[in-house]
Amino acid sequence: MAEGFLTCIKFTIFVLMGTEHYIAELLYRYNCVMVPEFGAFLTQVRSAVINESNNTFLPPTKTVSFNEQLTSNDGLLVSYMADVEKMSYEDMQKKIALVSQQWRQRLEAGEKLGFPNLGQLWLNKEGKTQFQPSNEVNYLTSSFGLSSFVASPITREVLKEEILELEEKIPFIITPEARKESGIRPYLKYAAVILLAVATSFTGYRLYNENLNNQQLVRQEAQQQVSKNIQEATFFNTAPLELPVISLNISTPKKRGAHQIIAGAFRIKENAEKKVDQLKEKGYDSSYIGENDYGLHMVAYGCYDDADEALQQLRTIKLSESSEAWMRSVK
* pLDDT for residue 9: 47
Indicate the helix (H) or strand (E) that contains 170: none
Residues linked to residue 260 through DSSP beta bridges, in sequence order: 303, 328
Q: What is the pTM of this model?
A: 0.41
pLDDT along the chain (331 residues), means of 10: 47 57 88 91 84 74 88 89 91 90 91 88 89 84 67 63 60 45 55 64 62 68 67 49 53 67 90 92 91 89 90 90 87 70
User: Cα angle at 259 between 257 and 263, to 5 degrees?
Assistant: 105
Residues linked to residue 120 through DSSP beta bridges, in sequence order: 114, 132
Please say whether the dihedral angle defined by the alpha carbons of residues 204, 207, 213 and 216, taken in this order, is positive or negative: negative
Q: What share of the chain is helix, strand, coil (3-state, %, to 5)?
A: 50, 20, 35
* pLDDT for residue 299: 93
Region for residue 119 given its phi and psi (left: phi exceeds 0; alpha: psi -120 to 50; beta: otherwise): left
Residue 187, amino acid: Y
282 three-state secondary structure: coil
* pLDDT for residue 310: 87
Alpha helices in 86-184 (DSSP H): 89-108, 156-169, 176-181
Cα→Cα distances 150→59, 144, 236, Å: 12, 18, 101
Q: Among 259, 260, 302, which residue's Cα sits nearest to residue 279?
A: 302
Residue 322, amino acid: S
Q: Among 293, 72, 46, which residue's Cα sits nearest to residue 146?
A: 46
Q: How far apart are CA 99 and CA 118, in angstroms?
A: 17
47 three-state secondary structure: coil
Please say whether the dihedral angle defined by the alpha carbons of residues 91, 96, 97 and 101, taken in this order, is positive or negative: positive
Q: Among 55, 57, 30, 58, which residue's Cα sits nearest to residue 43?
A: 30
Q: How far apart are CA 96 and CA 114, in angstroms?
A: 17
Pairing of the two strands 297-304 and 287-291: antiparallel
